[in-house]
Amino acid sequence: MAFDDPAWLEGMYNNLARVKDHPTYLERWARDSAAARDTLPGRLDLSYGQGPNEMLDVFPAPVPDAPVLVFIHGGYWRALDKSDHSFVAPAFNDRGVCVVVPNYALCPGPANRPVTVPDILLQMVRALEWTWRHIAAYGGDPERITVAGHSAGGHMAAALLACDWKAVAPDLPAQLVRNALSISGLYDLRPLQRTPFLEHVLRLSDADVLRASPVLWPAPARGQLYAVAGGDESEEFIRHNAAIRAAWGRNTVPVCEVLPGLHHFSIVDAFADPAHRLHRHAAQLLEA
C-alpha cells in the first residue's frame, strides 16, 4: 500500500481507467433502465425531501406486504443517477420484492451550496425514513427493508445499517434497516483524500473522513451486512471488502466474499442476474 503515492492511488481507485470498456456497461444500463421504466408500473420522481436531487423511484411488487429493497447507485458520490439503475428492478420484482431507487446530490455541488459526503449520507437517511413511512402505500412491508448499494452506494448501505434511527426520529424502529448488501463498497475514506481524480471533487476534510468511514465505527447493534467485491477489482477494493469484516466482526459481516471473474461494472450485472450467486445473496437477505 502506498497511500502517499498519488499515481498508485489513481491506479487503485480510478475504475473508469481500469475498465476500458466501461462505456459499454453504462450505455447498456441506461438503455435497459429506460426499458424497465417503460415496462414496469413504477412511480417515478417521488420527493423524499426538499434538498437537491431528493427524489426516488418505486417499483411496487406484484404482491402485497412485500419485502423492500432500496438500491443506492454508485459513482463516487459525484456521478450517475437513479435513472441509470432502474434495470436492477425487474429481477427483484419477479421475486415479489418492492424496489426503491433513490437519488442524491452530487459532489462538489455549486459554489454557493457545496455538497459533501456526510451531506449525502444524511440525504440517504431521509430517503430511508421516507421509505419506512410511505412504502406500505406501494405494497411494501416497512418492517422488511434491506439496503443494497454499489461502490459509493455500498458505502452508504453499510452506513445506513449502522444508523441510530431513534436519534433521527423517536417513532422510527431501532432496526429500520433489517440487513444490508454492499457491492464493491468503500469503507475507509482516508485514501480518497489524496486520490488525484477525487480529492478536488470530494474535498474530504479530516472531520468528514471520521464521520463517514464505517470501518472506523463500532459494529451496528442489529442486522447483518453482506460484503462482496469482484475478483478482477483493484487490490484496494478487495482490501476494503476485508476491512469491514475485520472492523465489525463475523457476526455482523457473515458473508465477505471476492467473486471471481467480476470487475467494478460487471458485478452490478451479476446483482441483477437471478442465476448469479450475488443475486441469491440479496434474495437471502430479503427473505431473512
pLDDT in tens, 35-72: 999 999 999 999 999 999 999 999 999 889 999 999 99
Cα gap 232→76, rounded to integer Å: 19
Question: Where residue 76 sits, what CATH number does that domain have?
Answer: 3.40.50.1820
Is 1 inside a domain boundary? no
Q: What does the pLDDT average to over 279-286? A: 98
Average pLDDT, stretch 259-268? 98
Whether residue 152 is contained in a domain is answered as yes
Residue 41 lies in a domain: yes
pLDDT of residue 185: 98
* pLDDT surpassing 70 at residue 236: yes
Tally of structural domains, the chain: 1
CA distance 53 to 60: 21
Cβ atoms < 10 Å from Cβ of 5: 12
How does pLDDT run across 131-186, given as a tens digit for each residue? 999 999 999 999 999 999 999 999 999 999 999 999 999 999 999 999 999 999 99
pLDDT digits (tens, 9 = 90+) for 12-28: 999 999 999 999 999 99
Which residues span the domain enclosing 208?
6-287
Q: Residue 25: which residues within 8 A CB-CB, separation 6 or more?
A: 19, 265, 266, 268, 269
Query: Any residues with CB less than 8 A from the CB of 229 and at least 6 apart, and which?
Result: 183, 184, 185, 237, 238, 240, 241, 257, 258, 259, 267
Residue 4: predicted pLDDT = 81
Contacts of 41 (CB under 8 A, 6+ apart): 59, 60
Q: Which three cell numbers stand for residue 179?
A: 440487513
234-270 per-residue burial string, b: 16 or more CB within 10 A, e: under 16: bebbbbbbebbbebbeeebbeebebbeebbbbbbbbb
Q: pLDDT tier at 1 (50, 70, 90 boundaries)?
A: low
Rounded Cα–Cα distance for residues 225 and 252 (Å): 6
Q: Phi-psi category of 261—alpha, beta or left, where left has phi over 0 and alpha has psi -120 to 50?
A: left
The answer to the question of residue 22 being in a domain is yes
Grid cell, residue 153, equals: 452506494
| 66-123 tens-digit pLDDT | 999 999 999 999 999 999 999 999 999 999 999 999 999 999 999 999 999 999 999 9
Of 255, 256, 202, 266, the closest CA to residue 233 belongs to 266
